[in-house]
Amino acid sequence: MWLTRMQFAAGAAAASLLGAFAASSRAAVSSTPQTKENAMPFTLPPLPYPDNALEPYISANTLSFHHGKHHKAYVDNLNKLVDGTPMANASLEEIIQQSAKDPGKSGIFNNAAQVWNHTFYWNSMKKGGGGAPTGDIAKRIDADLGGYDKFKEDFKQAGTTQFGSGWAWLVLDGGKLKILKTGNADLPMVHGQKALLTMDVWEHAYYLDYQNRRPDYEGAFIDHLINWEFAEKNLAA
């Protein structure tokens, strides 16, 4: 479930209450009279861990700016852009799919997709993550991607060769695992692919900790942060 902004502001301890990832959820509808605050349909989900949980690989400073400023700005912009339009009552996924097909709605697409991408990214990492996976996802990596060492090489390559801002992804496409990269806010769902895992390679994801050394951030993400249980859950869903 999403927590409302007021609950979110009440304390980071609430982060531990966040259960399954559910990007399309809306804030709970209140029975109290509508105010400007509770009329806002999308809310910033809390991080699924404390903001220092990924240190030393991603600092609390980076995570708090990335989540509290960047991700929040996408949520706020989306709410402003859809307010009073037919999209105001649509789910996040519906807004992404509809706006992706309409060049006149690129602002809505960019902000909606970035809201979805960031929530997916937080869940793609965990404290003590990374390294070789086990279970179905490991078998699929062996069968479809040439094994874990090749996955490491190709996933890092996807992030490194994304010119400018974007994302590296592990996806399910036509029943097979694939590694791909997307620019800016672009994301697998609008290409008929199912996202399993993502790595943000926008500079704001790593610059405070790694400056221009994107490959060092990518190496830390792969070796120490990947939440393989999340990927496995997405594969099974």
Q: Which residues bind Mn ion (CB under 5 A)?
A: 200, 202
CB of 121 to Mn ion, least distance (A): 7
- Letter string b/e over residues 130-157, b meaning 16 or more CB atoms within 10 A of that residue's CB: beebeeebbebbeeebeeeeebbebbbe
CB of 68 to Mn ion, least distance (A): 12
Nearer to Mn ion by C-beta: 120 or 202?
202
Nearer to Mn ion by C-beta: 109 or 133?
109
SS3 of the chain: helix, strand, coil, percent, to 5 = 55, 10, 35
- Measure the CA–CA gap between 59 and 39, rounded to whole angstroms: 34
Could you report how far apart the first and last alpha carbons of the chain are, in Å? 18
Chain position whose Cβ is nearest to Mn ion: 200
Nearer to Mn ion by C-beta: 7 or 165?
165
CB of 200 to Mn ion, least distance (A): 4
CB of 206 to Mn ion, least distance (A): 10
Nearer to Mn ion by C-beta: 202 or 221?
202
182: β partners: 167
